[in-house]
Chains A and B, each alone.
Chain A
Amino acid sequence: MRFFHVICIYALLASLSACAVSGASAGAQVSPQPQTYLENKGSDTIVNLALAWAEKYQELHPEVRISVTGGGSGTGITALINNTVDIANASRKIKAEEIEEARKKGIEPVEFTIARDAIAVIVHPGNPVERLTLQQISAIYTGEINNWSELGGEDRPIVRLSRETNSGTHVYFLEEVIRLGDKADKTIFSADTLLLPSSEGIIAEVSSNPNAIGYDGLGYITSHVKMLAVAGKNSQEYTLPSIESVNAGTYPISRDLYMYTNGQPKGIIQEYLDWIHSSEAQEIVRELGFVPILETSD
């Protein structure tokens, strides 16, 4: 047994050193090649998507290097205004004062919708509740409504599920649903909200627990749970989330995700943005739980 351990350790060491050696030689081979660098910075919501795109694109075009960093939509746009990035990512539209500031510095921000983000509210398939208003969902998550019978369902306690606080979806849900988009509102989740570390955890609990309500990015929802139709703040029209209703703008808990460039993009930046709108890149959007842009809506 002990002999086996020693062998294991040596094997591990050998493989580690092999990695180090191959890594070093790979670095040495790549560096003399001509390279084009793209700086891509901004929204933390988009950062994983932007990274996935950058990785795939670099595979297809080894001569392009894309560096992706997060920091928030505001950080990205500020960097664009200061002309330190080629592409800024933002999960909100650029503000009028930001455009003004950019123009003062001779920067002309051009907007591209690159994907959409929608949150589906889900319950157990056996739950008779079919639809909720945003206000009702907010009241559930702040702890004002605690029983499904208050919403026309069975007499069951409500178990609230949420993604962890580090997820962009969590923050979006907090701002747009719990606080109904009111910036001054400081309401937070009820303390007994279960914070689950993964989408799988939420789907697993909602699909097996008739008391549960949860939410997640539309792309993560499976057929084991039931999506609720949601009515917006000032409307009585309930809409079920789908790629079509999100693209049509009728589903209330959705937003567009943007990239901004300085002036109409040329050369490599233009090629990259064109590729992002291709079906290959939009497939990555779907894999990461966002909503792809439909060709027809553009």
Chain B
Amino acid sequence: MESKHPLEFLITWFIRLTGYSSIFFVVLILFFLVSEGLPALSEVSLDTLFSTRWYPIESYYGILPLILGSLVVTIGAMLIAVPFGIGTAVYLSEVARPMVREILKPLVEILAGLPSVMLGFLGIQVVSPFLREFLDLPTGLTAFAGSLLLGGIAIPTIVSIAEDAMNNVPQSYRQGALALGATRWQTMWGVTFPAARSGIITAIMLGLGRAIGETMTVMMVTGNAPIMPNSIRALFMPIRTMTATIASEMGEVAAGSIHYHVLFFIGIVLFLLALIVNITASWVSMRKQTHKERVLS
């Protein structure tokens, strides 16, 4: 790898530097989060921290309802986004005529670029009143409203990546299956879909990451009441998520106070959740690769 030109050497180093810098920044962020968030563990007893009441201005620092609130909304969002997202991706890549696809794919990608505050606005004005009347709820500002909108936010991510993954499945796979007498549906479900599985799982995981980290929309439509979710009915009650809590309280909190440290501790919890999602995603796609290689050999 002897570089002939000094410029080439420079460019190689520049690219290497940008690559390393992302690691550097993640480490810096992690360091900052930990140094600001871990003092919470010594200032607030674990019993308090994992209790069920969040009212920080009176020193109730129970983050359990916030963690569960985030999980309820995210699970609800994925229940909506996965079937719709994968369905759309399959339709776009396998069923739709090229012209339809040329129109639909950019539209889906525009959807991905919608500012979340706009969706939140839509949620307050349209979705939540509709849910209240349609499902006869006391209020429409519920976890379910958040799930619906977060689903909408996650769908374009899932569609875009899953569709790419299915497009990358070699045409010969499909031709082979059809030649063996498989129907179109059997080809789709039995050949293309499994072959693109790792990409599809990555798509779902990225969608999940998008949903769990989303802040503005959930802050506007979920009601932000820190209720402990205790049954399936929790989906139709107001909840408070971790992201909304950090966003709405960080601006006013005194730097270095207990409340400030607890908010950063919530940040650590979010970071860990994102880490788990990412590790799972890469673990699944790696495992799939070896499996695929075995099939091919």
- Judging by beta carbons under 8 Å apart, are B220 and A164 in contact? no
- Judging by beta carbons under 8 Å apart, are A197 and B225 in contact? no
Task: Please name all residues of chain B whose beta carbon is closer than 8 Å to the beta carbon of A181 when the two chains form the complex.
Answer: none
- Judging by beta carbons under 8 Å apart, are B227 and A191 in contact? yes
Determine if B85 is an interface residue (Cβ-Cβ < 8 Å): no
Number of A-B contacts (CB under 8 A): 71
Q: Which of A201-209, A240-248, A252-260 contacts B (4 or more CB under 8 A)?
A: A201-209
Determine if B24 is an interface residue (Cβ-Cβ < 8 Å): no
- Judging by beta carbons under 8 Å apart, are B220 and A201 in contact? yes
- Judging by beta carbons under 8 Å apart, are A194 and B55 in contact? no
Determine if A195 is an interface residue (Cβ-Cβ < 8 Å): yes
Nearest CB in chain B to that of A186: its residue: B58
- Judging by beta carbons under 8 Å apart, are A205 and B248 in contact? no
Task: Please name all residues of chain A whose beta carbon is closer than 8 Å to the beta carbon of B146 when the two chains form the complex.
Answer: none
Contact pattern, B 222-249, Cβ under 8 Å of A = 1, otherwise 0: 0111111000000001101000100011
- Judging by beta carbons under 8 Å apart, are A209 and B55 in contact? no
Q: Which of B7-15, B137-145, B185-193 contacts A (4 or more CB under 8 A)?
A: B137-145
CB contact between A212 and one of B125, B139, B225, B244 (< 8 Å): that residue: B139
Nearest CB in chain A to that of B140: its residue: A209
- Judging by beta carbons under 8 Å apart, are A197 and B55 in contact? no
Please classify how large the interface on chain A is, using the bins under 10, 10 to 19, 20 to 34, 35 or more: 20 to 34
A195 to B226, CA, bound (A): 9
Determine if B6 is an interface residue (Cβ-Cβ < 8 Å): no
A191 to B125, CA, bound (A): 25
Nearest CB in chain B to that of A160: its residue: B225
CB contact between B225 and one of A188, A192, A204 (< 8 Å): that residue: A192
- Judging by beta carbons under 8 Å apart, are B240 and A195 in contact? yes
A272 → chain B closest CB, angstroms: 27
Determine if B105 is an interface residue (Cβ-Cβ < 8 Å): no
Interface size of B in residues (CB-CB distance below 8 Å):
33
A191-B53, A201-B220, A205-B141 as given contacts; A166 in contact with B248, CB under 8 Å: yes
- Judging by beta carbons under 8 Å apart, are A208 and B53 in contact? no
A209 to B237, CA, bound (A): 15
Determine if A229 is an interface residue (Cβ-Cβ < 8 Å): no
Interface residues of B (CB under 8 A from A): 53, 55-58, 60, 65, 124-125, 128-129, 132, 138-141, 219-220, 223-228, 237-238, 240, 244, 248-249, 251-253
Interface residues of A (CB under 8 A from B): 156-159, 164-166, 171, 186, 188-189, 191-197, 201, 204-205, 208-209, 211-212
A-B CB proximity, top 4 nearest: A166-B252, A194-B223, A195-B224, A157-B138
Give 17 new A-B contacts, CB below 8 A, not counting A165-B249, A191-B53, A209-B132: A158-B138, A159-B138, A171-B57, A186-B58, A188-B55, A191-B225, A191-B227, A192-B225, A195-B223, A195-B240, A196-B223, A197-B224, A201-B124, A205-B141, A208-B129, A208-B132, A212-B139
